[in-house]
Structure 1
């Protein structure tokens, strides 16, 4: 493993041990907080790492959005994306927000509101990033939710979760991932032996926010009848 990869994995492990959380760039505003905020982040305090929210940012479950409809306070709202990937808005009801950029969601809301008003002007701000996590479940030593702060592969995700238990069916790994429209999930399969021993490096996929990695036990794997 190259030095850069080793440092990357070490950084992820250090993050988990120190309990650092991911925050959006909007949470830290030097103009508002000034030098006082800098002093507050003294050595020894729990530091927060910044995740820069770009126009290409993909909205995920639990993200907090501030949706503003110009000159209409009743329709403006701060909402959190539900685990099912949807948000609820006045007049429009439930809308799928997950797997979309703020621009795409803005256009969808604008289209819906045109039935009630002429040329609505919408703006969306990511107030709090909560969705950049992966979930590792099943036969790993430390199952749970882990922050995703840099490029992370499937094997790195399993390593962060403490590796396989003796009962793990390591060649039957399944990754559940939201589809691009956010309306469902796809199922990706991977084999540890294929990745490590055989030419199956394509199965060592790069993880995305919201991915659920499931490592079943050997007792759950049903052998085909002969």
Structure 2
């Protein structure tokens, strides 16, 4: 069982994917779903868009790292729980939280001292499980693998369903948008009366007890508890905080 600080570290891992502030282009959410900037002080959210961000590698993804000029070095690898892969000649390299192009560039640079023509091509073979974070007024907050095409309410059910104190009609959905910006919208997840909201990898659902003003405190706690580096390995059982 993890203590409260470890739980916050785990929640913080998702937030690191949203650490770049800015604005995203695209269709904004309806005004009723927007977040007033004054409610969150210095927490900046971009306008909501359904546009897909560039794919970031994640632990559990299977990739092929091909070296056309030295085919004996080509490997099919699975990104480890710590986000790393191991390659001949250069050893371990961080793959998680990188785009395919970024990883190609980093590996080509690493091979520069080993190969005359350090050309590297990275291909995603199989995506790993889609993980989402559920926090707040649910019975078992934590990180969950989505089962099939699960929607937001189904993720709440995986987390033990709402507590009686939950404000289920004002759930915050936080998502990484194009360019790495962080976006938030408010969704109504009341059973049989709410919205059907498709989730994406890395989404965060925060269920408040009273008002969304609690989200500001949640962000402050997470940011204060972040470890220096990105650690994907924190997992296991979670207790409510």
Which structure carries more strand by proportion? 1
Question: In which range does the TM-score fall when normalised by the shorter chain?
Answer: 0.3 to 0.5
Q: Which gives a bigger RCO, structure 1 or 2 (Cα 8 Å, sep 6+)?
A: 2
TM-score (norm 2): 0.44
